C-alpha cells in the first residue's frame, strides 16, 4: 500500500482531538527534539518506537530525540495505553504530526532560498539544496515556523520505501536510565516526602464499625491517622514506621463482615446462573439438517491476578490550591479527571504525571494507590506523601482478570466441514478503569464516608475489540454462526482489564474445539483450519509456523510428549498469530518449546516486537500451567507467591518467533495477540501427548489426572 495522497488524507483520531502541532513536537535550543505523546511506557518499548517514527518523518538523528512521560498539563490526551493500540493510535498520530511539521519547515527553508520545497533534501535535521554547502536546520528555522497551528492533513507521511529507521532494531532510549536506577515511580524521592500505608478491610464489602487509634498514634514516627468511613490509613516519617503503624492499627479495628462470596468449587456453575445482559454478537440461522454429527464442549478460566512483581505505588502533594499526582496508571488523563470529579476540583487544579511502575499489562492497583496517596496527602498540605501497597494488598485488592465460561456446539457435514456453530459466553465485562462510568472508579472511594457501590464493569465497543466478547466470533469461514454473550451484572470479586481480556479464554475454547472437530472428522489440525480460512494473511502465518517448527501435523503423539497448534487474528481486526507448542508431561506439565509466526503489518522495531511476543508467550504459559486466584467465603486468600505461584525461570520454554514483515500495511499491535493462541496450542499439545482433553484452566496435573481417569 503506497503512502496516501494529501487529497484522501484524514487525521488520526487522537491528533484530530489535539491538533496543535506544538502539543506533539518541540525543537529545543540544544539541538534536541522533544516529543509529547499520550501513550505511556510500561516496559513495552513504545516510546522508543514512537521516536523511531518521528525521526524517520523529520529526518533527524534518533538519539537527539527525547520522549517525555505523559503529563496531563502538557501531553495530548490519547486515552489509555491498552489493547495493543499504541502504534496504531499514538504512533500514527505522531507520524502525521511530524509529516506536517517537516512540510512547514521545508516551506520556510524554500522561501529563504527562493526554491520549491520539493527541491530540498533533509539530512540529520538540516534542509539543503543539492549541490550547495549551506543548510538550514529545524532549530535555525524554529522562530519562523508557528507550531501552535493545527494539523490539517496538509502533508502525507513518507511511503514505506522512504523509511530509513522504521524496520530497524534500534536500541531502546529508555534502557540506559533504567540500568542506572532511579527512573521508576517506586524510586522517586521528593523533598520532605513522608510515607503512608492503608489498613484494608478483612474481606470484600466489610464495613469499619470502630477503631481505637491511641496505640498507633503513640508509635515512633507516626504523623497522622486518617479515617473517612471505612477508609483508614496512617502517615509516618519513614516507610518501616508506616508499616508498623498500619499493622498496629489493624489490630484495633472492629469490622462488620460483608456478603459471602460464591463457593469456589462451584464458581462456573454460579456464573451461568446469574442475571446477565444478553448480547447477540452473531446470529446466522443454523442449518441443522446439513450436519451429520454434532459436537459440544465447555471451557472455563479462573480469576487471574496481574501478579506484578512489584506492588503498586503512588505519590501525591497538595500545595498552592493545586494537587500533583505521580502514578503508573495506564490512563493518566482519566486518572486526573476522576480525581477532580470526586474532590470537586477543576481539572486544571490537578496535574497527573506518569512514572513507570512495575508493569502489569492491564488495570492493576496503580490508579487505586494514587487515590490512596491523594486522600492521605490531603491531611498534610504541602507535604508529598508516598503510598506503596503491600504484597497482600496487591493480590487481594487489585482488580482481577474475570473468571469466564465458554460453551460451544458445532455440526460437521459428511465432507468434514463445519456447517453450524453455536457459542455462549458467561462472565463479567472486563473494564473498570476510572472514567468509564458515572460511578467512582477507585477502591478508596467505595470505602469513604457511608460507602459507595462498586463501579460496574464495561466493555470496549465491539469495533475496537470489545472485552468479554473479544475474539468470541471465530475468524473462520463458517456458514452459520450464533454467538451469544451473557455479560453478568453481579460482581462478587472485583474485576477489570487483564492482558487480552476475553480473548484468552475465547481463543482457547475456539482453537481447542477446532482440534476436537478436526479429530472427529479424521483430518489433521492444519489442513482442517486451512480448509475453513480464506484470508491469505491468516493462511500464511499458519503455513509459516508449521514450516518453522518442522512439524508433521499427521504424526501421532503419545508417551507424554505432544505438539499442538492454534491460530487467531487478535480482536478479528489486529495482528495474525499462529503458535505451535511442544509439551512434555513425563515428570510434570512442562512447555519445552513455543514457535510462533506473527504478521503485525509494518514493523517499527523488530527487536521490540520480539520482546513483546516473547513476554506474552511467557506470561500466558504461566497462566495456563499455574495461575488462579484462590478465595474463601469472605476474601481472596492467594495473597503471596506460595499461594499464587507463577512460572519460574527454570520452567521457561524455548521461544522461536518468525515475523512476517509487511511494510506496505498499517502497523498492528503485538503484545496481546499471542495470548489466546499460545494457551490453545499448549492445551492441544497436552491432548496430543495423552489423548485426553482438559478444558478447565489452568492445566494443572491434578486436572490432567482427573481427565485421564
Phi/psi at 302 (5° precision): -90, 180
pLDDT at residue 7 greater than cutoff 80: no
d(CA 225, CA 246): 9
* Res. 22 pLDDT band, cuts 50 70 90: very high
Q: Which three cell numbers stand for residue 458?
A: 464495561
What is the predicted pLDDT for the residue at 167?
Answer: 95
Query: Chain centroid to CA 462: how far?
Result: 17
Q: Which three cell numbers stand for residue 148?
A: 501552535
What is the predicted pLDDT for the residue at 6?
Answer: 62
Average pLDDT over residues 301-314: 96
d(CA 245, CA 213): 10
Pick among 3.30.365.10, 3.40.50.150, 1.10.3720.10, 3.40.50.20: CATH of 185-257+307-395: 3.30.365.10
Q: In a 3-state reduction of DSSP, which class is residue 546?
A: helix
Q: In a 3-state reduction of DSSP, which class is residue 314?
A: strand
**Radius of gyration over every alpha carbon of the chain, rounded to an integer in angstroms:** 27
What is the predicted pLDDT for the residue at 8?
Answer: 64
Average pLDDT over residues 36-47: 93
Average pLDDT over residues 596-610: 97
The pLDDT > 70 percentage for the chain reads 99
**Of residues 572 and 465, more confidently modeled:** 572
Kindly give the interhelix angle for 46-58 and 92-113, rounded to the nearest 10 degrees.
20
* Res. 505 pLDDT band, cuts 50 70 90: very high
Average pLDDT over residues 135-150: 96
In this structure, what is the dihedral angle of CA atoms 510, 511, 512, 517, given to the nearest 10 degrees? 90
d(CA 354, CA 185): 8
pLDDT at residue 346 greater than cutoff 90: yes
| pLDDT tens digit sequence for 434-466 | 988 888 999 999 999 998 888 899 998 887 888
In this structure, what is the dihedral angle of CA atoms 149, 151, 154, 158, given to the nearest 10 degrees? 130
> What is the average pLDDT value for the chain, to the nearest integer?
95
Sign of the alpha-carbon dihedral angle for 694, 699, 704, 705: negative
| Topology annotation, domain 6-180 | Aldehyde Oxidoreductase; domain 4 (3.30.365)
Which H or E run contains 676?
Answer: helix 675-690
Pairing mode, strands 590-599 and 654-659: parallel
Cross-strand pairs, 595: 580, 656
What is the predicted pLDDT for the residue at 1?
Answer: 34
What is the predicted pLDDT for the residue at 535?
Answer: 98
pLDDT at residue 625 greater than cutoff 90: yes
| pLDDT tens digit sequence for 107-133 | 999 999 999 999 999 999 999 999 888
- Residue in 390, 619, 632 with CA at minimum distance from that of residue 498: 619
d(CA 461, CA 573): 13
d(CA 109, CA 111): 5
Give CATH for domain 500-708.
Answer: 3.30.365.10
Least confident of 217-231, 459-473, 630-644, 687-701: 459-473
pLDDT at residue 4 greater than cutoff 70: no
Average pLDDT over residues 681-702: 96
Which H or E run contains 215?
Answer: helix 214-217
**Is the Cβ–Cβ distance between 624 and 590 less than 8 Å?**
no
Pairing mode, strands 25-27 and 253-256: unpaired
Residue intervals of the chain classified under CATH 3.30.365.10 are 6-180, 185-257+307-395, 500-708
DSSP code at position 598: E
pLDDT at residue 87 greater than cutoff 80: yes
Q: Which residue has the cell 514450516?
A: 547
Q: In a 3-state reduction of DSSP, which class is residue 619?
A: helix
d(CA 281, CA 60): 47
What is the predicted pLDDT for the residue at 2?
Answer: 39
Q: Which three cell numbers stand for residue 54?
A: 518521528
| pLDDT tens digit sequence for 355-407 | 999 877 899 999 999 999 999 999 999 999 999 999 999 999 999 999 999 99
Phi/psi at 525 (5° precision): -65, -25
| pLDDT tens digit sequence for 241-295 | 999 999 999 999 999 999 999 999 999 999 999 999 999 999 998 777 789 999 9
Amino acid at each position: 500500500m503506497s503512502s496516501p495522497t494529501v487529497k484522501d488524507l484524514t487525521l488520526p483520531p487522537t491528533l484530530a482531538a489535539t491538533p496543535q502541532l506544538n502539543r506533539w513536537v518541540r525543537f529545543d535550543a540544544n539541538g534536541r527534539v522533544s516529543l509529547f505523546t499520550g501513550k505511556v511506557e510500561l516496559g513495552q518499548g513504545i516510546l522508543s518506537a514512537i521516536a523511531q517514527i518521528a525521526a524517520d518523518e523529520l529526518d533527524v538523528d534518533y538519539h537527539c530525540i527525547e520522549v517525555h512521560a505523559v503529563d496531563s498539563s502538557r501531553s495530548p490526551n490519547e486515552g489509555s495505553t491498552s489493547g495493543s493500540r499504541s502504534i496504531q493510535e499514538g504512533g500514527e498520530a505522531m507520524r502525521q504530526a511530524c509529516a506536517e511539521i517537516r512540510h512547514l519547515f521545508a516551506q520556510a527553508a524554500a522561501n529563504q532560498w527562493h526554491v520549491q520545497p520539493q527541491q530540498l533534501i533533509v539530512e540529520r535535521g538540516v534542509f539543503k539544496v543539492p549541490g550547495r554547502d549551506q543548510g538550514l536546520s529545524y532549530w535555525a528555522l524554529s522562530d519562523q515556523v508557528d507550531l501552535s497551528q493545527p494539523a490539517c492533513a496538509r502533508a502525507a507521511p513518507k511511503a514505506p520505501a522512504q523509511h530509513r529507521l522504521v524496520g530497524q532494531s534500534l536500541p531502546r532510549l529508555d534502557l540506559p536510565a533504567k540500568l542506572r536506577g532511579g527512573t521508576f515511580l517506586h524510586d522517586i524521592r521528593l523533598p520532605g516526602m513522608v510515607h503512608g500505608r492503608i489498613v484494608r478491610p478483612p474481606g470484600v464489602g466489610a464495613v469499619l464499625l470502630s477503631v481505637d487509634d491511641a496505640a498507633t498514634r503513640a508509635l515512633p514516627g507516626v504523623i497522622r491517622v486518617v479515617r473517612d468511613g471505612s477508609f483508614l490509613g496512617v502517615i509516618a516519617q519513614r516507610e518501616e514506621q508506616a508499616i508498623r503503624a498500619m499493622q498496629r492499627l489493624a489490630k484495633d479495628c472492629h469490622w462488620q463482615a460483608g456478603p459471602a462470596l460464591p463457593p469456589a468449587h462451584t464458581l462456573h456453575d454460579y456464573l451461568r446462573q446469574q442475571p446477565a445482559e444478553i448480547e447477540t454478537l452473531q446470529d446466522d440461522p443454523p442449518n441443522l439438517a446439513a450436519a451429520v454429527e454434532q459436537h459440544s464442549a465447555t471451557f472455563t478460566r479462573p480469576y487471574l491476578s496481574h501478579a506484578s512483581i512489584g506492588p503498586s505505588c503512588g505519590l501525591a502533594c497538595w500545595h498552592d490550591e493545586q494537587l500533583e499526582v505521580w502514578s503508573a496508571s495506564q490512563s493518566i488523563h482519566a486518572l486526573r479527571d476522576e480525581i477532580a470529579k470526586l474532590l470537586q476540583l477543576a481539572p486544571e487544579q490537578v496535574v497527573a504525571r506518569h512514572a513507570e511502575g512495575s508493569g502489569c499489562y492491564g488495570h492493576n492497583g496503580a490508579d487505586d494507590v494514587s487515590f490512596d496517596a491523594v486522600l492521605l496527602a490531603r491531611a498534610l498540605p504541602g507535604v508529598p506523601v508516598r503510598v506503596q501497597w503491600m504484597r497482600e494488598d496487591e493480590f487481594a485488592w487489585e482488580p482481577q482478570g474475570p473468571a469466564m465460561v465458554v460453551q460451544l456446539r458445532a455440526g460437521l457435514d459428511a465432507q468434514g466441514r463445519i456447517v453450524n456453530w453455536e457459542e455462549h459466553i458467561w462472565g463479567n465485562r472486563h473494564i473498570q478503569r476510572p472514567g468509564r462510568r458515572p460511578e467512582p472508579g477507585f477502591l478508596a472511594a467505595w470505602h469513604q464516608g457511608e460507602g459507595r457501590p462498586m463501579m460496574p464493569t464495561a466493555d470496549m465497543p465491539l469495533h475496537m475489540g470489545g472485552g468479554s466478547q473479544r475474539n468470541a466470533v471465530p475468524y473462520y469461514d463458517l456458514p452459520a454462526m450464533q454467538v451469544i454473550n451473557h455479560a453478568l451484572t453481579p460482581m462478587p470479586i472485583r474485576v477489570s482489564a487483564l492482558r487480552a481480556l476475553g480473548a484468552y479464554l475465547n481463543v482457547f475454547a475456539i482453537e481447542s474445539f477446532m482440534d476436537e472437530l478436526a479429530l472427529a472428522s479424521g483430518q489433521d489440525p492444519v489442513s482442517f483450519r486451512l480448509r475453513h480460512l480464506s484470508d491469505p494473511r491468516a493462511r500464511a502465518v499458519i503455513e509459516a509456523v508449521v514450516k518453522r517448527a518442522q512439524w508433521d501435523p499427521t504424526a501421532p503423539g503419545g508417551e507424554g510428549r505432544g505438539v499442538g497448534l492454534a491460530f487467531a487474528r487478535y480482536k478479528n481486526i489486529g495482528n495474525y498469530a499462529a503458535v505451535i507448542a511442544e509439551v512434555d508431561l513425563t515428570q510434570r506439565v512442562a512447555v519445552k518449546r513455543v514457535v510462533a509466526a506473527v504478521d503485525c503489518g509494518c514493523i517499527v522495531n523488530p527487536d521490540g516486537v520480539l520482546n513483546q511476543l516473547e513476554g506474552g508467550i511467557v506470561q500466558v504459559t504461566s497462566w495456563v500451567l499455574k495461575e488462579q486466584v484462590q478465595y474463601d467465603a469472605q476474601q481472596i486468600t492467594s495473597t503471596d507467591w506460595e499461594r499464587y505461584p507463577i512460572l519460574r525461570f527454570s520452567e521457561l520454554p524455548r521461544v522461536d518467533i518468525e515475523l512476517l514483515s509487511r511494510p506496505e500495511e498499517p502497523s498492528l499491535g503485538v503484545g496481546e495477540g499471542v495470548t489466546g493462541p499460545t494457551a490453545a496450542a499448549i492445551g492441544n499439545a497436552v491432548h496430543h501427548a495423552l489423548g485426553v482433553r482438559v478444558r478447565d484452566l489452568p492445566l494443572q496435573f491434578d486436572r490432567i489426572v482427573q481427565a485421564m481417569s
